[in-house]
Structure 1
Amino acid sequence: MAELQVDENTSSRKSSSAEEETCKDPDRLYDDGEKSIIGEQLDQHQSTATIRKPYTCDQCEKSFWSSGILKRHKRTHTGEKPFTCDQCEKSFSRSGYLKVHQRIHTGEKPFTCDQCEKSFSHAGGLKIHLRTHTGEKPYSCDLCEKNFSQSSHLMTHKRTHTGEKPYTCDQCETSFTDSSSLKRHKIIHTGEKPFTCDQCEKSFSQSSNLKIHKRTHTGEKPYSCDQCEKSFTESRSLKRHQRTHSFDQWEKEFSDSYSVKLHQPTHTGEKPDFCAHSEKSFREPDHMGENLH
């Protein structure tokens, strides 16, 4: 019986040791190897981990259930990154982060979607990807109630409310709400066009522009006008087109109102246009013009 108890504790310690490598924030994901997300097992682990936390950080008073986790936590204050990639010399605060990062070099993608067979280098990437199939958007903006599939997308969105633009170009001082927008912007200065069409070898600075361009080869026109059923390869072309309907409607309304205004005097006998030269009144300005000749 005692032997069984030892085995259970050993198993528990092993399980905790494996999990504690990524037990930091369940809403974050591995991006450049510095962030993690794991599934339901982490939630279960955290619920048991909150029972007793005798190890407290002397800098922020956060508490932890093991000295090892406290030691790793303290690196967030010191900035220490003792785990270094031997291929690109990038450093990480945890061995688990390094392990995930190394898959960039090896190309290993052990986590595969069972619905579309797309593969990922880490479990967090798969979990987020699965939301494209389920439509799940668990992160809600408390200001406008928009929902997002990723916490990072919510964080970026919130900056549209606050006006915060923390990413600034060092060449022209233009600022952006997220790092990817800044990265895309910098290509303007370098003239780089890294996105090349595989059918005509035309190159583009933005992947979105390449995507639109490819529709000239496929004939795809996904943006359709709901008034005349004309289709377009990009949304801005549709918007320009829709203005023609707005103008046509305005022109028709203007024309109709002008015609009504001219017609009404035939019933009332009113002659609102007065000619100072002949001292005559006319129902229509054109008739007054004819009088001058």
Structure 2
Amino acid sequence: MDTVKNELDNLCRGCLCVDRLLLPLNKNVDLFFIFLGNELSISEDSKYYNILLCWECIALLKKAEVFRKRVQTAHRYFERILGNPSTTRALSTLNIHNKDDYDLIYTENENPEPVIKPEALKFEVTFPENEGNCHIKEEAYYDDNDDNFDYEAEEPKPNVSAFVKKEKKKKTKYKKITPISKKIKTRPIKYTPEEIDRCIEEVVYTLKDILAMRHEKKPNRIKNMESRCNVYIMKLLDTQKKDLRQKVKNDGLTCSECETVVPDQLALAAHWESHPVALLRCRFCELLSKSRKSLCYHVESRHSIIYSCTLCPIDFRALPEYYRHDRELHRILICDYCGKKFNQKSGIERHIRHNHLPAVCNICNFEFKRKNYLREHYRLLHPELVESKRDIVRELAYCVECDLQFASEYFYRRHLLYAVAHKRRIRPKVPCPDCGKIFSRKSYMDNHYKLVHVRKSQHYCELCDKHFINGYAIRTHKKFVHEKYEKPKNKICDICGRGFHTNRVLINHKRTHTGERPHKCSYCSAAFAQNVARKTHEKTQHKHLLQELKGFST
């Protein structure tokens, strides 16, 4: 029965397709029930609006809904205007255009050539006023049956295009670009030669610093540098390569640019890295140039307009600086929920929609605080919507050890990762610093150390002058030794039926039935059922060996 139910889950209820992505029908459910009719039985999932259809059936259902709305609108419109039939108007989107200016009527006569009825021509033919300038072309009409030629003047054709209305120009989709002066406060400025000199500053870079300003994608191009100055730097690099190829002579190597003499090639390479390059820089946009004349022209053309901020009294000579100032100070949007900052409106809208608005599952109508929680819900409970690219194999999502069937492989992997049954319990190992005995907790090791090695413990019995390792041990001691309570023998042997008060005594007793002897002597082949018997055997039978070991250790 499970296999039949699985096949029906992947089946479209409209066209019986299996190889398509199925989506739940949230809208037009009533129209779907009308199409089913009273003869067909409605299944249980259809009653809860959990109907799965493919994209084609959903599209057809949407078209039927549009047609139903049009019919309802027409019926309401008909009832409203029933008293006044003159105001009726068709709701169809199809139109018929009659153009009487050039829709001509032709009739067939005995003559083979058609004759145009004069009633069909509703336009007038206009001729120019000066008849002398008007020229009418005459063409010959040739009939195959006659041997003679008849020359007749053709009737002038009416200028139909003059009576046809010109089509309106289509509106362009592009908006009119508003000038910058309408958005930003601007005012022109004229520079004097002295002011231009103040706008230009002299700077000195090393060749190494200039090469660090190279463009990442264009290694032959240096950022924010004029083209002529860029060519000069490239030539300087070629000169450097030629100098480094020189062979060392008696006097050494000479720099071709500044004629400095160095002893070897390593010194020449170091000299070229620190070689000074004098350039000119614009104070407004930091453009580098070698020519003062070109840089003066740059200042007069590019920085002749002052851009004023409308929100604070700051002026800028370059438009990118104004935009940077406006973006960093006046265009920052802050989220009301978490205080995160954004530079664009679309970014903060996306952030609020994904992180702060509730997300609703379309299938089970569960509401989540964040969209990632909804995504996790889809992975766990509705994997057919998430893993649409591959089929869900139910055999790969079955846990044999726990006997559990999961909805998807993701859920099965999550079970293996976090379930207690598949997660190994790692017990901590805390050794005793003196004897090396290992304990699972530090408190157990501390109690052992104080009782065995220090001979002190806070759990002390005043009646018999004994120390105990913990509170449970002293309570048990007082209860069964001093208060004379009988120990309950509720640990029953399943072989002989004897009862014991501890599991350890029960295990030692069972070994008498099975004959198991796990405790072996360290010095001979003897084995024992209890550890106490092994220790007694070693002390009595191998006493000399124990004394030798103690003497060797000391």
| TM-score strictly above 0.5 | no
Normalising by structure 2, we get a TM-score of 0.20
Q: Larger helix proportion, structure 1 or 2?
A: 1
Tell me which structure has the larger Cα radius of gyration: 2
Answer 1 or 2: higher relative contact order, Cα 8 Å, separation at least 6. 1
Normalising by structure 1, we get a TM-score of 0.36
